[in-house]
Amino acid sequence: MTLRVAIIGGFGNFGAHVARSLAGDPAIQLIIAGRSVAKAEAFAGALNAAHPAEAGAYDLTGPPEALAALRPHLVINMVGPYNGQSYAVAEAAIASGAHYCDIADARDFVTGIGVLDDAAKRAGVAVLAGASSVPALTAAYCDEAARAMRTIHTVEYGISGAEQSNAGAGTVAAVLSFVGQRFTTLRGGRMTPVTGWSDLRRVTLPGVGPRWFGRANAPDLDLFVARFPGLQEHSFWAGHAIAPLHFGTALMGWLARLGLLPRLDRFAPQLVRVASLFDGLGTGTSGFFMTIIGEGADGRTLTRRHWIIARSGHGPFIPCIPVILIARHMAAGRRYAPGARPCLGIISLAEYRAEFAHFDIEATDA
């Protein structure tokens, strides 16, 4: 049976990449959906798919019956930002008997998806939130380390994006949602409040050079405490590749913290336009670093260091890998256990690395 995959926001920056990646699979029938039927039809018509892609109308705030009318087997929600977004798409997918996944990296959205667990189980469908860089990719690295370590006690990692003007306002809003805002992270075995984009630090990425980072929020900061017992220190960092943008964001975060500016995500469209003025300073290179420290079976300290360098503007492809693989796996006959949960343990590190080989993305370890 051909798997009918509805991509909500399938003509946007990230959705279009997912659609193009799945288009050649003869076991998949794509349905490109969004608020603009005209845009969906134009993109679907230009897509060189194994089966001619269909187009449909779907608005996140519309009636659930609109999703059922698309007759999907799998729904991929690519419409961000997910901060403050309801579970309407996932609920509509459950009501229509379809599986669901998304690329959410919003902490509350991903960690709270379990409220749909009973409904998903009754419908016999899998609902996977956070099929993105965080928590899916970061968990894959830690899961591999956990096979060699009897205890993981320290995990830190960060993402430095290329020119942010290449991303849509929704992606930028997701980052700005925590800049200058308070959230908790694990320090000394206790959840401790920190401020987004604070504690600026510089990290050298192999083949790239130094990049600036500030504290960032992610679902991992809640999820990994339970997943890796013994964890004492856990931090996530984010930064702009272009230093003036990074420090400008830090300044705005400081003003927001003092109450002199409102939450910065409301300014995302305007800041995307401002960021475009700095594109000439960029290189199109994104970077990721990760350090995992724990104890081996003999009690000795083990340290693992990982880096991902994505050139040619291919960094935004990385968050899309899990939903692409989930669709391919389902089309090939794999079944995921019914229920609603964060996307942990679904995509292995080996599967990630196999996908990196198709792009200008290099993963190294030490």
Residue % of the chain over a pLDDT of 90: 78
What is the rounded distance in angstroms from the CA atom of residue 48 to the CA atom of residue 209?
39
pLDDT at 266: 81
- Other Cβ atoms closer than 10 A to 279: 14
Residue 318's nearest CA partner among 176, 113, 159 is 159
Q: Which two tokens stand for residue 201?
A: 């630090």
Question: pLDDT of 10-24, one tens digit each?
Answer: 999 899 999 999 999
Question: pLDDT of 271-299, one tens digit each?
Answer: 777 777 676 666 789 999 999 999 998 98
With left for phi above 0 and alpha for psi between -120 and 50, is residue 339 left, alpha or beta?
left
pLDDT at 164 over 80: no
What is the rounded distance in angstroms from the CA atom of residue 199 to the CA atom of residue 213?
8
Q: Is the dihedral of CA 211, 284, 314, 40 positive or negative?
A: positive
Phi/psi at 262 (5° precision): -75, 180
Residue 187's nearest CA partner among 218, 154, 159 is 154
pLDDT at 165: 45
What is the rounded distance in angstroms from the CA atom of residue 109 to the CA atom of residue 178?
14
What is the rounded distance in angstroms from the CA atom of residue 255 to the CA atom of residue 86?
29
pLDDT at 168: 64
What's the mean per-residue pLDDT of the chain? 93
* Mean pLDDT value of segment 179-187: 96
What is the rounded distance in angstroms from the CA atom of residue 168 to the CA atom of residue 159?
17
Q: Which residues contact 109 (CB under 8 A, 6 or more apart)?
A: 82, 83, 85, 129, 219
Contact at 8 Å (CB) between 100 and 33?
no
Compute, in degrees rounded to 10, the torsion defined by CA atoms 257, 154, 132, 183: -20
Contact at 8 Å (CB) between 352 and 321?
yes
* Mean pLDDT value of segment 325-349: 97
Q: Which two tokens stand for residue 233?
A: 């220190």
Local structure of 348: helix, strand or coil: coil
Contact at 8 Å (CB) between 329 and 348?
no
DSSP single-letter state for residue 63: -
What is the rounded distance in angstroms from the CA atom of residue 116 to the CA atom of residue 90?
8
What is the rounded distance in angstroms from the CA atom of residue 89 to the CA atom of residue 93?
6
Q: Which residues contact 337 (CB under 8 A, 6 or more apart)?
A: 126
Question: pLDDT of 30-80, one tens digit each?
Answer: 999 999 999 999 999 999 999 999 999 999 888 888 999 999 999 999 998
Q: Give per-residue burial for 129-139: e unless 16+ CB within 10 Å, then b.
A: bbbbbbbbbbb
pLDDT at 269: 76
Residue % of the chain over a pLDDT of 70: 97
What is the rounded distance in angstroms from the CA atom of residue 88 to the CA atom of residue 78?
13
